[in-house]
Amino acid sequence: MAATKRLTQIDIAKLAGVSQATVSLVLNGAPTAVARIPAETRERVQKVIRATGYVADPIARRMAKGLNRILGVFTYEPAFPSAQADFFTPFLLGIEEEAQQQNYDLLLLTSAGVGNNRKIFSENNRLRIADGCLVLGREFDRAELARLVAEDYPFVAIGRREDAGGPVPYVGGDYAAGTRALVEKACLLGHSRLAYVGPQGPAESVADRWLGYQAALSATGAQQALHIATVNRPAEEILDAILHSGATAAFFIELADAVRVEILARERGVSVPGDLSMIVLGSHIRAGRSAVRFTSYEIPREEMGRQATAMLVTRIETGGIGTQILLPCEPVEGETLGPSPSDPAQKTDGMT
């Protein structure tokens, strides 16, 4: 028996009464291009495809567009350890969702070294299998970032990135504006002596929080009573320092630090927020859980992942250079920010 002839896009076009280019767009086109085809025409093409059981040749599709339709995902920290799952999972969910919408597969680049030695351009790197790459992590290797900028390989960073010898395409959160809004809200509640628990940088996400905090101090005239420039210090040390400083509101870079300090304060009889208000500037790398809902802001991690993926696909398919986008961090009301106590000295009753 003679072999059945394989259907082609030209065959589908003849059956649907459209051009081969229209069939190609329906099958392979970006959503924005497909949207320009009338819905009735799209449905007619899809009906023929369903009726004939046509399946596009994936090799031919790749050759026609010069693409593998694969997006690489590289993280400078392991993406799945439980201690960091709360941080990376929303990004990955947004990336996966948008990749599905754009008809791309994902390649998680895990052969790039271990621990602190993870490198985009490692010896075993498989970066070029993907048409482009999404890069995320708390801190980037500056030399690798500069190399990505200098080469013609499409990439998009998740999180604001600078100092790379040229503009970096990214989608990040507006931590500076979100932090400033929280500090100004605390000042409106009468807090004039503030504590800050966390570093000033060097990662842009950390530096932006510090810049927002400092901008709010300048705008309100509030005083920085204490700055603990490291994270993961003993809870007793942090709480004692805050209480001795006379600060009535403390801002934490890390949710995990705030959780431990709040538990200790409660054990000591220090009321939160009656005696001490506590504000978290977005949860970060270290996981932390508490029954208390901290006053904070929501980092739009899923949306960052979605928009970064959409930007990368646009770069791949149009050759564009990408843009720089900061998404707002919406406030979370919480229950740990209240009016400043009328007598700041009263909160020292809980000191040891």
**Fold match, 70-168+300-328 / 175-295+333-350:** yes
Instruction: Using a pLDDT cut of 90, give the percent of the chain over it.
Output: 51
Contact 196, 226 (CB under 8 A): yes
CATH, domain range 70-168+300-328: 3.40.50.2300
Mean pLDDT of the chain: 84
Q: How confident is the model at residue 291 (pLDDT cuts 50, 70, 90)?
A: confident
* Range name among 31-40, 68-77, 94-103 with the lowest pLDDT average: 31-40
Phi/psi at 227 (nearest 5 deg)?
-135, 115
pLDDT at 86: 66
324 CB-side CA count, 13 A: 7
pLDDT at 117: 65
Does residue 344 or residue 258 have the better pLDDT?
A: 258
Q: How confident is the model at residue 207 (pLDDT cuts 50, 70, 90)?
A: very high
Residues 87-122 pLDDT 10s = 778 899 999 999 999 999 998 887 655 555 667 776
Dihedral angle computed from the Cα positions of residues 8, 11, 13 and 15, in that order, rounded to the nearest 10 degrees: -140
pLDDT at 33: 64
Q: In CATH, which of 3.40.710.10, 1.10.260.40, 3.40.50.1980, 3.30.450.20 is domain 9-65?
A: 1.10.260.40
Look up residue 295 and give its DSSP letter: B
pLDDT at 165: 74
pLDDT at 114: 55
- Return the domain boundaries, the chain: 9-65, 70-168+300-328, 175-295+333-350
- Closest listed residue to residue 334, CA positions, set 287, 274, 301, 292: 292
Q: Give Cβ neighbours of residue 206 (< 8 Å, ≥ 6 apart).
A: 198, 199, 200, 253
pTM metric for this prediction: 0.75
Q: Cα dihedral sign for 96, 99, 100, 106? A: negative
- How far apart CA 27 and CA 23 sit, in angstroms, is 6
Does residue 282 or residue 56 have the better pLDDT?
A: 282
pLDDT at 39: 87
Check whether 347 has a pLDDT greater than 50.
no
Check whether 10 has a pLDDT greater than 50.
yes
**Letter string b/e over residues 238-258, b meaning 16 or more CB atoms within 10 A of that residue's CB:** bbebbbebbbbbbbbbbbbbb
- Superfamily for domain range 175-295+333-350: Response regulator (3.40.50.2300)
Contact 251, 53 (CB under 8 A): no
